[in-house]
Amino acid sequence: MSTEVVVTSYGRDDLVLSVGGRDPAATLGGPDAVVLEADGALLVWASWDDELPGALVHDPAAVQRWLWEVHSEPLALALAALAAGGGTGTVTVAAEPGPLAGAARLAARGHWAARWWPTSVLDGLPGLDTDVLGLELAVASQECERVLGPDEESPAGLLEAHAAGVQRLREWATSPVHAPYAGAVARLRERVEALADELGVELSAATTSPAARADFALAAAGGDGRAQGSLENDWTAYPPGLLDASESALTWRADLDSPGWRVGGVAAAGAVAAPLVLRGTDGEQPFELTPTGWRGLVPAGPAPGVRVALPGFDPGPLGGAGDRLAARERARGFARAWLADPGAPLAVLVAADDPEDF
């Protein structure tokens, strides 16, 4: 099916491709950014279901090497003509997704999931096996290697980083729980081994990390009449894998014994004791991992307006609280859409179907 793509030139070497009237720059930087660093452009799937990505083009010559295989040749030629003019202008082209559009989208979705997957017990969003996902990402990246820019993660780099997934696949091959996926497991192993041979990557040296899964936190605050409430849990502002990515994972309560607010967070499965802090107008207080979750104490005030942060890893605020919430909700929507997609990668299918957890 053809898609209307609008190409806008803002002058020298600065062009934007937008799909479905959506500004590709709008989702950048947030947890709903499904992006791929292509040669000469940043590709952005502004909507989960878009087959074709929008693009921010910074090198119109470089994109000619692959644009015809993703957005089809008429669009490639229209962009070349517009760029050659050097000025500003707009052209609308009916584009057919080319042979590499699917692999490029799969690679972009895989990167998105590796970075932003909102794993949450409270919301019923199961975590993914990141190494198996990484192997599938390597295979998809190899398929669209011509599209990838020099700064995007390479197929060989992904294979090396996620070689431990091979061991996981071996376990899955013999586990009765994963029997429905035996075919997909075998196919992935075969493709990964062929790719490793092709790229000269050593897979056998990898050690497996223990699968951090069955360890789940229990739900949050009980009500016994004392003042209490929830705080914005902006999980996009600190690294993944530390807190449950639910909006209700962060709560506060008045403390009768000490002058302050007790803040508690539901720990993510396999969370490590990263040096998180609670940052407010009064400075920073430690937020520590305990056997019962993340705990901190902040000085009393009108309300405990603090946010969780990891010092040094500070993206700063992204829009207002409403925009941030909307972006996080969109990320959850992406995750649910993929979990419900029978054509999703193995790591997603297995997570969607894990009876042990959900």
Report the site for other proteins in 179-208 (rule: CB under 8 A): 197-200, 202
3-state secondary structure of 216: coil
Q: Is the dihedral of CA 281, 286, 289, 293 positive or negative?
A: negative
Residue (250 or 344) nearer to other proteins, CB:
250
Which residues in the 207-226 window bind other proteins by CB under 8 A? Answer: 210, 212, 214-222
Distance of closest approach, residue 179 Cβ to other proteins, in angstroms: 25
**In which element (H, E) is residue 89 found?**
strand 88-95
Please state whether beta strands 88-95 and 54-57 pair in parallel, antiparallel, or not at all (unpaired): unpaired
CA distances from residue 250 to 84, 137, 253, 266, 345 in whole angstroms, order as listed: 53, 32, 11, 7, 31
3-state secondary structure of 180: helix
Distance of closest approach, residue 339 Cβ to other proteins, in angstroms: 20
Which residues in the 136-155 window bind other proteins by CB under 8 A? Answer: 143, 145-146, 150-151
Which residues in the 244-283 window bind other proteins by CB under 8 A? Answer: 249-253, 262-267, 269-275
| Residue from 20, 29, 299, 305 in contact with other proteins (CB under 8 A) | 29
Per-residue tokens: 161 = 């980083």
Q: One symbol per residue from 74 to 113: x for binding other proteins (CB under 8 A), - otherwise; what is it?
A: --xx--xx-xx-x------------xx--x-------x--
Burial level of 55, CB count in 10 A (0-12/13-18/19+)? buried
Q: How many CB atoms lie within 10 A of CB 49?
A: 8
Which residues in the 279-308 window bind other proteins by CB under 8 A? Answer: 289-293, 295
3-state secondary structure of 42: strand
Residue (182 or 244) nearer to other proteins, CB:
244
Stretch that binds other proteins, among 3-11, 87-95, 176-184, 234-242 (CB under 8 A): 234-242
Per-residue tokens: 138 = 């390597």
Number of residues that bind other proteins (CB under 8 A): 92
